[in-house]
């Protein structure tokens, strides 16, 4: 009889595990993210972990398709996870941008598929003066390599982009980021060269006292939990869900870093609400105004 009890007990445990993992892989990505948090010992943030005294964060996610979160569950990428962590700490958050993408509330983003640095700069010229973000997270450069767009001068284009952001939105802090790896070995040398140039641009700007930080996304710098080739999806460009989670964690580390440096400032009062879930009426009006007054060149 004891053997029967042990067999029944083992069967119940095995069945529970099967049901649990089937549930995790078929439900919304939020469950996957909570499992990610538990697996890495994060748990709930403490009440005292509010960022910059609860300063409202008007965040612009700026870049191309990785910024948009393409190929992730719900096309959320790292954006929703960053937003969720910040709001759970007590900060009002409003993600801003003239594009909306992803299955979540407040999915505004300044991200455009297959865009190169020079194209993202043009979009920023249209949106940033009107939206006035106080925190900009940049992830761009992969398309410059895949489209072979003057890759020897990525550093000057990245520096120009960041300097423009700081000029157009004087209360902004900018977190630059290197680009993730690719399993396409013919492009990886360009990715590494682009990253060296991005690092140098960031180093120069930081040395000059600009409110800038660098989020290191490539695993070749031997830092823990950076997306590796196996964390890139089948298209060889976009991270898997676990890869995007890693990127969210890296960006959060840098947000805490710029907070400690005192970079984060209260956003300009231009009518945009502090809470991105409150209303989009002002953002819609600003987009219409920007598109009329500053149309993009075709």
Per-residue model confidence as pLDDT tens digits over 240-249: 999 999 999 9
Q: Using the predicted structure, report yes or no on whether residue 38 has a pLDDT greater than 90.
A: no
Q: Using the predicted structure, report yes or no on whether residue 149 has a pLDDT greater than 50.
A: yes
Q: Quote the pLDDT of residue 32.
A: 46
Phi then psi dihedrals of residue 111, to 5 deg: -130, 135
Pick 49 or 110 by higher pLDDT: 110
Confidence of residue 201 (pLDDT cuts 50, 70, 90): very high
> What is the mean pLDDT of the segment spanning 91-103?
97
The DSSP letter of residue 221 is G
Lowest-pLDDT range of 44-53, 201-210, 224-233: 44-53
Cα 180 to Cα 139: distance, rounded to the nearest angstrom: 9
CATH number at residue 284: 3.40.50.1110
Q: Using the predicted structure, report yes or no on whether residue 22 has a pLDDT greater than 90.
A: no
Cα 84 to Cα 276: distance, rounded to the nearest angstrom: 12
> What is the mean pLDDT of the segment spanning 189-209?
98
Is the residue at 62 inside a domain?
yes
Q: Quote the pLDDT of residue 297.
A: 78
Is the residue at 243 inside a domain?
yes
- Number of separate domains in the chain: 1
Confidence of residue 11 (pLDDT cuts 50, 70, 90): low
Lowest-pLDDT range of 14-28, 99-113, 232-246: 14-28
> What is the mean pLDDT of the segment spanning 82-96?
97
Q: Using the predicted structure, report yes or no on whether residue 17 has a pLDDT greater than 70.
A: no
Is the residue at 260 inside a domain?
yes
Contacts of residue 144, defined as CB under 8 A and 6 or more positions apart, other chains included, come to: 116, 117, 150, 151, 154, 157, 194
Q: Quote the pLDDT of residue 37.
A: 47
Confidence of residue 16 (pLDDT cuts 50, 70, 90): low
Lowest-pLDDT range of 70-74, 109-113, 157-161, 190-194: 70-74
Is the residue at 2 inside a domain?
no
Is the residue at 1 inside a domain?
no
Among 93, 101, 104, CA closest to 134 = 93
Contacts of residue 91, defined as CB under 8 A and 6 or more positions apart, other chains included, come to: 50, 51, 52, 54, 55, 56, 57
> What is the mean pLDDT of the segment spanning 183-207?
98
Q: How far is CA 269 from CA 92, 152, 216, 258, 266, in A?
A: 14, 40, 32, 22, 9
Q: Are 214 and 252 in contact, with CB atoms under 8 Å apart?
A: no
Residue at token pair 């053997």:
3
Lowest-pLDDT range of 40-54, 93-107, 281-295: 40-54
> What is the mean pLDDT of the segment spanning 77-105?
96
Is the residue at 13 inside a domain?
no
> What is the mean pLDDT of the segment spanning 281-296?
96
Is the residue at 32 inside a domain?
no
Is the residue at 12 inside a domain?
no
Q: Quote the pLDDT of residue 251.
A: 98
Confidence of residue 15 (pLDDT cuts 50, 70, 90): low
Chain mean pLDDT for the chain:
89
Q: Quote the pLDDT of residue 165.
A: 98
Q: Quote the pLDDT of residue 256.
A: 97
Lowest-pLDDT range of 32-46, 74-88, 106-120: 32-46
Q: Quote the pLDDT of residue 5.
A: 52
| Domain carrying residue 114 | 44-293
């Amino acid at each position: 009889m004891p053997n029967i009890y042990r067999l029944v007990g083992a069967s119940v445990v095995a069945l529970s595990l099967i049901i649990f993992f089937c549930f995790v892989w078929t439900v919304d990505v939020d469950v996957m993210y909570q499992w990610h948090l538990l697996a890495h010992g994060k748990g709930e943030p403490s009440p005292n972990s509010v960022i910059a005294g609860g300063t409202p964060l008007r965040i612009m996610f700026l870049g191309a398709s990785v910024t948009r979160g393409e190929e992730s569950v719900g096309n959320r990428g790292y954006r929703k996870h960053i937003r969720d962590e910040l709001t759970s700490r007590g900060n009002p958050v409003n993600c801003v941008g003239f594009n909306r993408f992803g299955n979540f509330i407040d999915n505004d983003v300044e991200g455009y598929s297959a865009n190169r640095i020079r194209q993202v700069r043009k979009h920023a010229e249209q949106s940033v003066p009107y939206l006035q973000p106080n925190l900009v997270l940049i992830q761009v450069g992969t398309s410059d390599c895949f489209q072979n767009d003057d890759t020897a001068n990525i550093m000057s284009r990245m520096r120009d982009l960041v300097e423009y952001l700081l000029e157009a939105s004087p209360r902004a802090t900018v977190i630059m980021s290197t680009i993730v790896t690719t399993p396409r070995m013919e492009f990886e040398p360009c990715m590494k060269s682009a990253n060296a140039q991005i690092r140098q641009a960031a180093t120069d700007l930081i040395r000059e006292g600009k409110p800038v930080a660098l989020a290191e996304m490539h695993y070749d710098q031997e830092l823990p939990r950076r997306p590796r080739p196996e964390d890139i999806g089948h298209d060889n460009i976009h991270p898997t869900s676990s890869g995007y989670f890693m990127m969210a964690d890296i960006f959060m580390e840098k947000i805490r870093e710029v907070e400690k440096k005192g970079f984060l400032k209260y956003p300009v009062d231009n009518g945009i609400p502090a809470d991105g879930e409150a209303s989009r009426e002002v953002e819609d009006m600003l987009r219409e105004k920007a598109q009329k007054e500053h149309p993009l060149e075709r």
